[in-house]
Structure 1
C-alpha cells in the first residue's frame, strides 16, 4: 500500500512538532516545513534520520514548492503567542494571508486535503460563553491583537472560499488554549509564564483582577482531535479544546500548589482587548468526531511541570521574554 504523504507547516513549533510525531506514528511520510522564526529544531531533532521524515527550511509566505504527490497539508505556520505576534506583526499577517493562499494553491495543484489551524482568538472578547462555532466574535481589527485575530479570520474566509469555489477538500480547527511539553518557557502565555516565574522564585503576574477565565487542553488531546477532524468529512470550523473553565487567579493558585513554592500573585493592569472569557463549546467535536478531552488538568500540568524542570538552567534564566507585560493568554 502506498505511503501517504503529509506536509506540516510550522513543524518545528509546539503543536507542529507533536503533529509530526503523530503522523510518523501513523505511518505517513512527513514533510516538515518551518522558517524557524519562532520554531526550534530541537523539537523535531529526534525525527531527523527517519526514512519517512524530511525537513524544509522555508517561509510559506513565499512560493511553496513540494515535489511528488501530497495527500494532506496541515497549515500550522504562524506566531501564536502574544510576545511573538506583537513583535513581528507584519510576518504574522503575511503567514495568515499570503502563506495560506500559497498553500491552498499547492493543495489545489496536488489535489490534497488541507487543514488550517485557526484559533479561539477569532471570537475576540466574546459576549457569549461558552463559544460555539456559530458565534461570529467580537474582535477589534485595529487593536494590538488585531494582527493575529484578523489574520486567522481571513485565513478561515480564504480557506472556505477555496472549498466552495474550487471544491477543495478543506478542514478548519479552532484551537483553544493548549499546553504541554515543548512550549517555550518564556513565550508570554500564561501557563509557561506562571511556571517560569515559580521556578525562578518570583511572584506570579496576573493581569487585571484575575477574574478572566481560560480553558486549558493538554496537547495529546488536541492532536487527537485534529487528527480526527482531518480524516472526517466536515468542512466547517470545529472547536477543539477543554471546556473545563478556570479563572486566571485560580489557575495561578494551582501553579503555586503544584510547584510547592511560596510566591504570591501580583496584579498588573489588564491589557487592551484581553478576552474576559475563553471556553469552547465542543458539542460539534463530540457529535461529529466522537472526541472529547481525556487528560485532566492536574495530570497534564504535572507532566508539563516535569518537562520545564528538565530544561537546561539557561532556558530558565533566559530573560529575553521574562519581563514581558502581556496577556494572560
Structure 2
C-alpha cells in the first residue's frame, strides 16, 4: 500500500495514517492498539505525557507483529527538557514501550519561555539519532518563528512537525515553511475532533461541504478529511477506542477526491485554533513529573 507510506527527509519511511492515543485511558489503550494493528495500521503515536506508553507497548506485543513492522512515535514532555533530562526521557519512554529503538521521537511543545532548555532537548534528540537509538527526530506545535529559530540553532532539520490541522484550522503559512525545509506536516486532531469538545460553534463532522463530498463517494466526513490529508501529502493521526471507528478511519485508500473537492475542503479554513496557544505552555502551568519506567 504505497499510498500510505511517506518518506521522511532522512529516508525513513512512515505510514501516513497512524493511530493516536491522546486522552485514551490506559485500560483502553492496549485493546485499541491491538485492534488498530489487526485492522492494518502500522503506525502508533503516543507521548510520555499521555500516561499510556506502557499500554501501547502491550498492545503492540499483543498484536503478534514483529517489532520492525510497527512504526512507534512518541514525545518528550517539557518537564524532561534539557540535554541530560531528555536523554533520560528517551530511556523512560523506551522502557515503558518495551523497545530498544524508537522510530520517531519528537519534542511535544516548544517551551518558548525556556527556549534554552528546548534547544538542549533537541540537541539530545540529535545525539540519540546519531547513536541509532531513534530513527528520526522532530517537533510538535512549533510555530513559524520558533521553528525558524530552532533551525538556526541546531544541526538536524526535524523530520516532522506535528500540529493541530483540520479543515477549520490549516496553518498554511506553517505548512509552506515545512515544504521549504522538507519537514513533514503531521496533523493532530486531523478530523477536527477538537472542534467537538473545545466549545466552538462549528463541528467539522457536521459541515455540509464535507457531508456532501462524502455522500458522492459513499464515505463519512471523517473519511473525507483523512483522504484530504493524504492527497495533500500530510501524515494524520486520528484517534478512537472503538474498533468500528478505528476501521473507518483507515478505510480511506479506495477513493479519490477531485481537484475541485480538495479546493472545497481547503476553502473551509477559518484560521481559528481550537487547541491551546503553544506559547501558553509553560513549566509553571503544565509541568508534571513523568514517571520512571
* TM interval, short-chain normalised: 0.3 to 0.5
Structure number with greater Rg is 1
TM-score by length of 2: 0.34
Higher relative contact order (CA 8 A, sep 6+): 2
